[in-house]
Amino acid sequence: MRYFMDISYRGTNYSGWQTQPNGVTVQEEIEKAISTVLQAEIPITGSGRTDAGVHATQQIAHFDADNIDPNQLGFKLNSFLGPDISINSIRRVKDDVSARFEATSRKYHYHLHQAKDPFKTGLSYYFRPELNVDLINEGCEIIKGWQNFECFSKVHTEVNHFNCDIFQAKWVQEGTNHLFEITANRFLRGMVRAIVGTLIDVGLEKTSLEGLGLILRSNNRSEAGRAVPPDGLYLQEVIYPKDIYID
């Protein structure tokens, strides 16, 4: 039987989501916990990877197991896992459904604050200069109308294509706090942090809207802005068709 696991984590102390030879990862910690609880090797597959230091309000992963009580398993896993990883729920899905390939959209948030705040350290990007938010949102409209995002992708990324459908992109300011929201069918490695860095240049009026168009057309990562720190980035939500769930 296949199950979807809804997970939240603070990524500060992890080398990202995906298991790797050097560094502790979120996937590794959950696999160790579930294999201990179920007394069997249980691999899990996430909806996508997040880089070192990036957080998730909602990450989805699937795994296969028989004769489990999802509520009890979630409770036991939370007892084994550290305070920075939480299993929010476990639900039965159809046996051929993949957490990675069946997702119809993913939403990311990026948090930025302009007033020093010790309670935001590691959870938001402290950036003091003033930004032209109206100009940034004009840039968001340009990005929403684009499809090939090679200019925002980490180089040497093994993908079949660089096309993404952006459903939503907007920048919201509330006082000294800023939130960038972006939703798409898929994202490339490093894409959101590169977009935010480029939009910051637009907001600082270092890059014009015409310049943003040139960056998009260049298909060249070196033409775009810097990647902002991972602290402010959250995988916010992963959406699936409703008919994949069995209960």
Which residues belong to the active site?
A: 51
Through-space distance between the first and last CA atoms of the chain, rounded to whole angstroms: 13
Distance CA 110, CA 50 (A): 13
Strands 85-93 and 45-46: unpaired
Nearest to 193 by CA among 125, 245, 117, 106: 125
Q: Calculate the alpha carbon distances from 192 to 38, 82, 149, 195, 233 in Å.
A: 36, 27, 10, 5, 8
Residue type, 75: F
The answer to whether 61 and 99 have CB atoms below 8 angstroms apart is yes
Strands 177-184 and 166-174: antiparallel
Token duo for residue 220: 């060249």
- Give the list of residues 6+ apart from residue 188 with CB closer than 8 angstroms, or none: 149, 150, 152, 153, 154, 157, 159, 162, 164
